Amino acid sequence: MVAFEAQRMLLGELPLSFLWEVSARVLVAFLAVFCFLKFSGRRGIKQLSRFELVVILTLGSAAGDVTFYEDVPILPVLLVFVTLLLLYRGTIYAMKRSKACEAWIDGLPITVVKDGMYEIHSLRNLNISSNELFMELRQQGVEHLGQVRLGLLETDGDLSLYFYDLEDTRPGLSVLPDEHRAEYTLPPVAGLYSCVSCGFGAYHEAQERSICERCGHHVWSPALDTPRNR
C-alpha cells in the first residue's frame, strides 16, 4: 500500500465512472423517500411519533445503503420502501379503527403538572429529569409551578401548558436553575414553602423541620407567587 495514494483515498477500488452511478442512486433514493412521504399521508416533521420515527430511520438506512454501496442492488431496496409504505398505511388504518391499538403504538398524553404541582406517579415513569422539565417550562415563560393549571407531555415529546388566569395564580415551586432557587431542610424564616420533590406548598415556621405530606420528602424552597408575563 502506498500512503496518501489519491486513487485509494478518494475512490478505493472503484472506477471514476462509479461517481455517475452514485448520482443516479441518490436520485432513486430521493425519489423513493419523496414518494413514501407523499403517499403515506403522515403528519409534519415536528409531529413525528415513535412509530413514524422508526419508519423514517429505516428509510434513511435503506437509502444510505443503496446510495453508497455498489454491491447493493436497487430493486430490493425499492421493495423495502414499498413494504414500509404498506406497513405504515396498514398501521395507521388499525390505529384509526382501534383506540387501544393507537394508545399502544403512539402512546397517550401524560399529565406532568396539575393544579400547580407535579404529578408524582407520571414523572416516576418518564425517562426525564426534573432539570429537563424545568428547562421546558422556562422556555414557555414559566417561572414557578403555581402559574400552571395543567401540563401535558404529548406523544411527540412536546409539552402543552394551560395556565391559570393572572388573578388565580397560586404560590408555587420555582423552576429557575439552582443558583436562582434556594433550598432548605430548615427554613431560615417563617413563610410559605414548596416541596422541591412534588411542588406541594405549606407554611413553615423558622427552623422547623417538616416532611412533605404528599411525597414524604423534606427539602423545601420559598414559594413564588409572581403572575405570568403575557
- Cβ atoms within 10 Å, residue 94: 12
Arithmetic mean of pLDDT, 63-74: 73
Of 10-14, 26-30, 105-109, the one with minimum mean pLDDT is 10-14
- Cα(229)–Cα(160) distance, rounded to whole angstroms? 17
For the chain, how long is the longest CA-to-CA vector? 82
- Cα(175)–Cα(195) distance, rounded to whole angstroms? 12
Of 34-43, 51-60, 71-80, 88-97, the one with minimum mean pLDDT is 34-43
List Cβ neighbours of 225 (8 Å cut-off, separation of 6 or more): 144, 146, 169, 170, 171, 172
Comparing 14 with 183, the larger pLDDT belongs to 183
Phi, psi of 127 (to 5 degrees): -90, 65
- If we measure between CA atoms, which residue out of 157, 158, 163, 178 comes closest to residue 229? 163
Domains defined for the chain, CATH in brackets = 6-104 (no CATH), 110-222 (3.30.240.20)
- Cα(78)–Cα(28) distance, rounded to whole angstroms? 9
- Cα(109)–Cα(160) distance, rounded to whole angstroms? 9
CA 119 and chain centroid, separation = 18
Give the single-character DSSP code of 154.
-
Please report which helix (H) or strand (E) contains residue 220, including its range. strand 220-222
Residue 128 has pLDDT above 60, yes or no: yes
